[in-house]
Amino acid sequence: SVPPGVLPLCCRQPAWGRAAWQPPNPPQPPSLPLALCRAFSNNKILVELDESSGVATMKFKSPPVNSLSLDFLTEFCISLEKLENDRACRGVILTSAIPKIFSSGLDITEMCGKSMEHYAEFWRAVQEMWLRLYGSNMVTVAAVNGSSPAGGCLVALLCDYRIMVENPKFSIGLNEAQLGIVAPFWFKDTFVNVVGHRVAERSLQLGSLHPTPEAHRIGLVDELVPEDKLQEKAAAVMAQWLALPDHARQLTKSMMRKAVLDRLVAHREEDIQNFISFISKESIQKSLRMYMEMLKKKKS
């Protein structure tokens, strides 16, 4: 089923068909790409699939900062599921259509002053995004073209490979502690799997946001590139990963990640209840309200 507002369309097609008979010395067809490109878009995410390479690009387009709202997370999971079920797609590059920001992370407004039912629905959507992306059979590459705190960092961590723009003004990290929030165990598990236990422990306790050179040094991102080379590098990395037989790569990925995925699946409802209990505490709500006020003052 196609979600409302999703409009499939075809990109440029070859100008010449394949005729069964050719005249002597036929003129050469124009030099146009032979690949079919399909795109579908909803309110917050644009997906473009190049069928010749089997690679999709998923661009976040939820101004001003690509916050992971309930609507965004729902659209993200729908888009990812469509690609997973498309036999033409083998890999996806995640990036932002908004300059200087990959994603600012979980939408604070979804966690402040809402009902218990809303908190449960929101947290289940966060879990679903994590389970789908971390457990994806596709090759996943994060092309991080701006700052990526908290949940934005998590999205990048869930991918197989992370490339970030080489700009010291950009930062990335799980900085939940700065907001008075504790990153759940599955955030922590993902982080530990990427950077190791000691670096993750220190970074999580301090709520650190790592500038790009430091993020590269600790292994949080795999490569730094100039901004104008980001998409080119992401495509090259994707090609390298897709050169392997899918079944061998997928089984290896599953073997490496299965224990962490299974842990959340086994404790999913308990984790939702823990989140509701934590986020509804008045002290936490007060911290979130203060943070939102600070953001409003910055904007003004």
Under 8 Å between Cβ of 246 and 206: no
In angstroms, rounded to a whole number, what is the distance separating the alpha carbons of residues 178 and 155?
19
State the amino acid at position 225 in one-letter form. V
β partners of residue 162: 142
Beta strands in 154-299 (DSSP E): 161-165, 171-173, 210-211, 223-225
State the amino acid at position 265 in one-letter form. V
Report helix angle 197-206 to 185-195, nearest 10. 130
Under 8 Å between Cβ of 212 and 170: yes
Count of helices and strands (H, E) across the chain: 10, 14
Q: Return the active site residues.
A: 106, 151, 175-176
